[in-house]
A and B are shown apart, each in its own frame.
Chain A
Amino acid sequence: SQKIEQNSEALNIQEGKTATLTCNYTNYSPAYLQWYRQDPGRGPVFLLLIRENEKEKRKERLKVTFDTTLKQSLFHITASQPADSATYLCALSEMKTSYDKVIFGPGTSLSVIP
Chain B
Amino acid sequence: SQTIHQWPATLVQPVGSPLSLECTVEGTSNPNLYWYRQAAGRGLQLLFYSVGIGQISSEVPQNLSASRPQDRQFILSSKKLLLSDSGFYLCASSRDRGREGIGYTFGSGTRLTVV
Chain A positions within 8 Å of B, measured between CB atoms, are 4, 31-32, 34, 36, 41-47, 49, 51, 89, 91, 93, 95, 98-107
- Name the prevailing secondary structure of the B interface residues: strand
Chain B positions within 8 Å of A, measured between CB atoms, are 4, 6, 32, 36, 41-44, 46, 49, 51, 88, 90, 92, 94, 97-98, 101-109, 111
Contact (A95, B43) CB under 8 Å given A41-B109, A43-B109, A44-B104: no
CB distance from B99 to the nearest CB of A (A): 9
| Chain B residue contacts of A93, Cβ below 8 A | 97-98
* Cross-chain contact of B43 among A32, A43, A105 (Cβ < 8 A): A105
Cβ of B97 and Cβ of A95 under 8 Å apart?
Answer: yes
Q: Which of A31, A34, A104 has the most chain B CB atoms closer than 10 A to its own CB?
A: A104
Cβ of B103 and Cβ of A49 under 8 Å apart?
Answer: yes
Q: Total number of A-B contacts with CB less than 8 angstroms?
A: 67
Cβ of B108 and Cβ of A89 under 8 Å apart?
Answer: no
Complex alpha-carbon distance, A100 and B46, angstroms: 12
Complex alpha-carbon distance, A47 and B103, angstroms: 8
Q: Which of A41, A99, A105 has the most chain B CB atoms closer than 10 A to its own CB?
A: A99
A–B Cβ pairs within 8 angstroms, 21 of them: A34-B104, A41-B111, A42-B108, A43-B108, A44-B90, A44-B104, A46-B103, A49-B101, A49-B103, A89-B44, A95-B97, A95-B98, A98-B51, A99-B51, A100-B94, A100-B97, A100-B98, A101-B46, A102-B94, A105-B43, A107-B43
Contact (A99, B32) CB under 8 Å given A31-B98, A43-B106: yes
